[in-house]
Each structure stands twice: as structure tokens, then as C-alpha cells.
Structure 1
Amino acid sequence: MIAWRYLRARRAEGGVSVMTWISLIGIALAVFALIATLSVRAGFRAEFVDTILGANAHVTVYSAGDVNGNGQLDRSIPDYTEMAQRIAAVPGVSRAAPLIKGQVMATMNGRNAGVEIFGIAPADLDSIPRIAQPLDSMGDIANFSSGVAIGSGVARELGLVPGDRIKLISPDGVKTAFGTSPRVGTYDVSYIFTAGRYDIDRTRVYMPFTEAQSYFNREGAADEIEVMLDDPEAVDDVVPAILSAAGDNAMAWTWRDASGSFLRALTVEDNVMFIIMSILVLIAAMNIVSGLIMLVKNKGRDIGILRTMGLTEGSILRVFFICGAFTGIIGTLVGLVLGVVFTVYIDPIFAVVNYVSGGGVWDPSVRGLYALPAKLQWHDVLSAVSLSLILSFGVTIFPARRAARMNPVEALRYE
């Protein structure tokens, strides 16, 4: 009751000071920033991993290679059908598909772009989540067997729409008496997809497997086996069985091998950002000390009277602890609401920011993703709220103890 009376008192009556209001606003903003940062980092990581797993092989199986008659290392897989069937039978493997890969130049109406060709069977392409169910698409994936499927970035760069014809030029073509002649092929664009990753949409072109074999001179062979798993997170447990089924000369490259360093960097950055934001919460909580010390000084006479009336040190401590803790609780709740609202409505908020700044705030060519993602995880919210409350309660104890230990004689000497 006494603490609530002090909190409701006007400043002229020796109530809560401006410093307390500043600390309340500071804690609210710090908790908001902590929740927003953790949510954006979690969303970025989830979106990045989803695009990796949704448009790329979880495990790539390739041959260690054999030296052919010309003394060159040949990494092609001649028995790709049998190898793919053996790998597909491994528990935990959802699909195993032979693949042809190569880098070529795509051209259309004087525009050029470097692209990467993925030769894959139509049925296997239809099972790739980010390609078969993309963020956006044009054309029909059912027509893939009679043309090629290209990323939206390639289509935008070359000015293509479904039904246009794209010319692919490979420098590694037919060998003649006058040297190697570039291989040129023209194909109908049957399907345009947006996988959600700028680097995929900007460089990837899918071609029917048999056509890719002919184009890259891989008749009767495949470059690698693309393996998709039921649980991509368990890739390390499945790889030994996959290699055993593939054969002695097989090697594997997982999605973690390809992106593990980036994911580890994200984890380190998450920890660093949490520490930095925690320091901001601590700074905001320290303002409670200033406001509470001023409140104790203003209420010195009241403390002396209460002590002479028989109020114990513990009771005085609880009065001022409640005053400080209440500030931390209110600030934390306000910051919690702001952080959750920001995370839930991040798209319209970011659209307004982008509009006010004139656009170009988020560059997908640099960040890889087309929008700023956010994912609200309750353990992040719980850690932010717990941190704020612990710090707020902790710093409140010191000025509250000072008030409790105040000598009533000294407090009333000049009254």
C-alpha cells in the first residue's frame, strides 16, 4: 500500500522522479530491441536454411574418379540408375536422382548471363519443394519435358517469359581439327520459378536429364546423385549408409558441408547480438537505481516516522523494492508488447520504412533473401523477459537496502 502510494504521488509531493520514467521507457525500448533482434535473427536463419533444404540436395553423392585412357580424371557415374536405386532404398532417404551439372552462358536478344545447368528428370524436378511450389511462378512445370525451367532472376536479366526461346552456349563443345567449337543449343522456356534465394533465382536453369546428357556429352553417364532426406537435420547419421550403398568409390557432400561455416557464423552472431542487447537492458535497468535513490532521499522523513512507529528494516526494504521492481515489470511488459507486435507486423512496417526512405533498403543481391524475415520463438521471448526482470530486480535491491538501513534519528534530526 505504501509503495503504491509513493508510485502514484506527484513529483511535487516527493513521488516518482523523472529518472524513474526514463528508466521505464529505457527498459521498454531495450526489451523491444532484444525481442525484435532475436526474432529477425531466428527468421533469417530459418528462411536461409529452408531455401537451402528446399532447392538444393541434402546430400550430393559423386565419384572419386578414375583415370581414363587419355590420362584424365573421369568423375562421371556410368551406373547412375543402379546407384540411385540403391541409395533410395536407404532408410531415411526420400529421393535419389541422377544429375548433370554444367556452367554455360545464356543469351537472348543481345543480353547475356552466366547460368548453371541442372539436368534432371521431370519427375525428380517436380519433387523439389522450392521449385515445384515456389514463391511465384510463370508457365507450367508439367511442360518441363519439352523445354527448360529457369529462375526468375535469369528471366528478368534476359527479358524472358514462358514461350520464349533461350540460347545456351557452352565453351566445352565439339573438338575439331581447328580446335574446340562452342556448343550452342536453343530451348523453349516452359517454366519460370522464384525459389526465394537471389543466388538460386539468378543463376539456375533446369534441363531435362536426357537433353542435358546430349548437350554436355554425357551419354550413358551422370555427374552426381542428388539425395533428399526425410529429416535433413539427421544428415550426419544417414551419410554412412548412403556411402555404403553407393559403393567404394563414392564420396558425399552434405548441405551442412556447403553452408556449415555460414550457419556457425550466424550462431556466433546470435550470441554476440544477445550479449550486446543484454548490455542495453542493463544500462536501462541501472536508471532504476538513480530514480530510486532520489525517491529514498525525498522520503527520508517518511522512513524515519515509519521506523519510529515500529516498521522493520525488512518492511522498508520491501516498500522500495516494490517501487523499483514495479518500474521494471511495467517496462518489460511494454517492451514485450512492442516486440511481439513488431515481429508479427514486420512486413507492413518494413514496407512503410522502405517507402519513406525511397526504396532500396533491402538489397537481395547482397543478403540473398528478398525480404526481412522474422520468426517469433517463445524461448527467445522468455529469455528476453527473464533477463529484464532479473536485472531490474537485482539493481533495485541496493537502494532499497540503503533505505532500510537509514537511521531514523538522522532522518528526523532536522525535521
Structure 2
Amino acid sequence: MRTAPFARFEWMIAWRYLRAKRAEGGVSVMTWISLVGITLAVFALIATLAVRTGFREEFVDTILGANAHVSLYSAQYMTESGAMSRDIVEFEEMTDRVAQVPGVIRAAPLIKGQVMASAQGNTSGVEVFGIRPDDLMTIPRVADPQESWGDIDRFGAEGVPGIAIGSGVSRELQATVGDVVQLISPNGVKTAFGTSPRVSNYEIVYVFTAGRYDIDRTRVYMPFTEAQTYFNQEGVADEIEVMVEAPERVDALAPSLLSAAGDQILAWTWRDASGAFLRALDIEDNVMFVILSVLVLIAAMNIISGLIMLVKNKGRDIGILRTIGLTEGAILRVFFICGAMTGLIGTVLGVILGCAFAIWIDPIFSAINYFSGGQAWDPSIRGIYALPAKLQLADVLSAVALSLGLSFIVTIFPARRAARMSPVEALRYE
């Protein structure tokens, strides 16, 4: 008899077969194994995609929030005294020209140098950034950090030789706001007997946590004019720090910046600095997606085993159903529903678990970190302080599509075998 596809009685028969009796315990076990396997595979896929997206976003955000999007610096040239130099002499004019380029948020001259910091009997190597106070206020991860201590408005205040340091530097030196830090530079005062180290004391007026271990551990900000004096760079700048509206399209803006900056100026974008790491992340993302897709396929393959056992156990029932008039298509749909329901339920449970993991990753990770003795995440290696996760609809939909697609495809083969079973052969020995 001809009926509409997926009629009510087909669902009733499929539901009856899914509720395996005690004598058919093997079918029930295989169904549960398939269900649990698909649930865990989908959970792992969604959790991995969420962590991947969160990690990449957090990494890029900390780069863009505390570093220049583009650094403009001079090519090496010979001074009038015959020495080789990369100093930017007309940095004020260059900064003004670059700031006028469409798409540029700000441009600021910088003095950079590596020195030794000492306080409370502790020493640590740090990188000093000489910057104007107004420009420091526009660095997102410094002016509005995760955590901060002190008053950033005191940075560069008249009569206060204050500096701003990262929380990692503060921890290494065991110094905080109000303490005095001694900075020691090997390139100090030039005398008739050579160059002697320069030693200067500065009060800590501001401590920040930018969210990147390497930044918090090494970064020290000093007022621009003070840095010029300290590093013997009076009247010049080492580079021009540029921030743009669309950092993702910084490569397209670089030619305009170079044109505005003038001759003998080179550009170094944030993509140049972190491009290798980002490309490694892309490769890792693709490999992880393929591996987890194979896990979903393996879990879906268990449906075949369960359905084959179900078809074998229900051979007599199939013969009777065919005898009373059910078509091959009806039999195929009955067993397709049996396999598809397993895949559908497993996928739904996996989505729920995966989304819950991404939403509550902080307490989950805190518990894991507690039971592992605090060694589950080392920020000195990872670069960030916690494991981030961000749910995206596209990631969830891709996991759902992959799981349901594989579950439906593998279900067709044993369902077709059941549909093509001859009623005569099925009932011959009954």
C-alpha cells in the first residue's frame, strides 16, 4: 500500500524498535554506545571550536590593545659626524602628517630601550617605552586594563619623574605604587674615559595588567621628554607608533602611511610581528577540525553496527510487514528513523554540553586548575592568563551539520538492506 513518506505508523514502528526488549539487549547497548559516542564527539568539536575562536580573539585583542598597529622607523643613514643612525629627527612633522591619513586613529613618537630595573634588592630586565602622557591615555589595554593600581593622571605630571609599569614587573621587583625603581642603562653619560652607565631613580605612579604575560612582565612607560634625556636621544625619536581604525586591513593602509611619512621610512605592522604565530594558529585550527570530524565519523559509524543488529533481529518482523503491504520505501524510512533519531538526540545533547562548557569555562577551568595544583595553565608559555572561549553561531551550526549529515548518511546503508530483504527469505524458516 502506498502511504505518505514518514507517516505516523512508521514513527510508531521505529519507536517500538528503539525500545529494545531484554532479549535484544545487544541492540540496546549498541544504541547507547552510538548515542554517547556522538554526544561526546559533538561536545568535543564545539568546545574546541569555541576555545579556538576565544584564544585567537583574545590573543589578537591583546596585541592590538597594547601595541602599535603599525610602527614607522627610519632606514639606516649616515650622520654628519659619520656615524650610522636610525633616529627620526623631524618626528613632530612626520607625526602630524601620518595622523592626517584617513583611517589613522592616532600617531605618536616613541623612544624605546632595554634597561635593568632594580628595587627592594630585586632586579629584572625591562623594556622602556618613552611616550607622551596624552598618547599613553589612548592605549586601550593600559588606560583601561584588566586591573590597575595608582593614578595614571600622575604619569608625566610636572615635578614627578614617575613611570608606569606592568603588573609582572611589579611582581618581579616586589615594588608597587609609591615605591622607587632604579633604572640602569649601559648607554649613559659620555665622558673622556668612555661611556658610563646611567642610573636614575623613578617613582612608580601606575601599575597595569594588560592581559598579556610578556607585556606585563617587561613593559615600562616613561614620559617622552624624560626618555629622550635618559637614552641620550634629545631632539629625536626612535619610531612613530600608529593605531588605525581597521587593524585587520592594516596592510592596505601601509602604502598611504609610508607616503605621508616621507622617504627612507619603513613600516612594520602587527601582522608582520605576529604573522607566523597567526598562521600557525590557522594550520592548527584546520588540523583540529579534521581530527575531530573523524571522531564524529567514528561515532556515527557505530549507528551502522546497531542498525545491522536490529535488522538481523527484526528479519521476521520485516517479512510480516512486507507481506501485509508495506513498501520498500516504508521499511527503509522505519530503519532510517531508528538511526537518525540516535544521531539527532546525540547531536542535541552534544550541543548542550558544548555550549555549557563554553559559557561556564571559567569555573570549570578554575576547578581543573585547583585539582591539578595550579599547573594546568602557565601564562609564561601561553601568553595569556586564562583559557578563553567564545561561542559563535557558525561554529555550532557547522558541528550540527557535520554530525547530522554523517549520521543520516551512514544510516541509509543498513536501512536499504532492510528494505531490500525478501519477505519469502525472511519467513522461510518461521
TM-score, normalised with respect to structure 1: 0.98
What is the aligned partner in structure 1 of residue 149 from structure 2? 138
Match of 1:299 in 2: 314
Question: 1: distance between equivalents of 2:21 and 2:110?
Answer: 75
Give me the identity figure in percent.
Answer: 73
Query: 8 Å contact 1:23–1:288 — kept in the other structure?
Result: yes
In structure 1, distance between residues paired with 2:261 and 2:212: 30
Map of 1:71 onto structure 2: 82
Shift of 1:173: 1.3
Kept in 1, the 8 Å contact 2:120–2:175? The answer is no
TM-score by length of structure 2 reads 0.95
Whether the aligned pair in 2 keeps the contact of 1:173 and 1:182 (CA below 8 Å) is yes
Report SS of the residue matched to 2:71.
strand
Distance 2:67 2:374 in 1: 31
Determine if contact 2:183/2:201 at 8 Å carries over to the other structure.
yes
Given the alignment, which residue of 164, 171, 176 partners 1:156? 171
Distance 1:15 1:261 in 2: 52
Aligned to 2:28, which of 17, 37, 49?
17
CA contact under 8 A between 2:19 and 2:28: conserved in structure 1?
no
For residue 15 of structure 1, report the CA deviation from its aligned partner. 8.7
SS in 2 for 1:17: helix
Residue in 1 that maps onto 2:4: none
Kept in 1: contact 2:20–2:28 (CA 8 A): no
Q: Which runs of 5+ in 2 are unaligned?
A: 1-11
| Aligned partner of residue 155 in structure 2, secondary structure | helix
1:100 and 2:100 matched: no
State how far apart, in whole Å, the 2-side matches of 1:386 and 1:11 are. Answer: 34
Q: 2:57 aligns with which of 46, 55, 72?
A: 46
> Of residues 171, 184, 189 in structure 2, which corresponds to 1:169?
184
Alpha-carbon displacement from aligned partner over 1:8-57 (angstroms, at most 9, x marks no partner): 34243679421111010000000000000011011000000000000000
Q: 2:30 is aligned with what amino acid?
A: M
Count of equivalent residues: 415
Which of these residues, 54, 64, 81, is aligned with residue 92 of structure 2? 81
Aligned to 1:116: 127
Q: Does 1:6 align with 2:17?
A: yes
SS of match in other structure, 1:360 = coil
Provide the rounded CA distance (Å) in 1 between the counterparts of 2:278 and 2:392.
18
C-alpha displacement of 1:72: 2.6
**Higher mean C-alpha deviation, range 179-188 or range 337-346:** 179-188
In the alignment, is residue 226 of structure 1 matched against residue 241 of structure 2? yes
Question: Where in structure 2 are the equivalents of 1:256-335 lying within 5 Å?
Answer: 256-335=271-350
Equivalent of 1:357 in 369, 372, 375: 372
Q: Distance in 2 between matches of 1:71 and 1:11?
A: 95
Residue 343 of structure 1 is matched in structure 2 by 358
**1:6–1:16 CA contact under 8 A, matched in 2:** no
Question: What CA RMSD, in Å, does the superposition of the two structures yield over aligned residues?
Answer: 1.1
Instruction: Measure how far apart 1:308 and its partner are.
Output: 1.0
CA contact (8 A) 1:17 1:294 kept: no
- The residue aligned with 1:375 is 390
Specify every segment of 5 or more residues in structure 1 that has no aligned partner in the other structure, as ranges: none
Query: Partner letter of residue 209 of structure 1?
Result: F
Of 401, 409, 417, which residue of structure 2 is paired with 1:386? 401
Aligned amino acid, residue 352 of structure 2 = V
Secondary structure of residue in 2 paired with 1:352: helix
SS of residue matched to 1:228: strand
1:117 and 1:15 map into 2 onto residues whose CA distance is: 69
- Could you list the structure 1 runs, at least 4 aligned residues long, displaced by more than 4 angstroms after superposition: 13-16
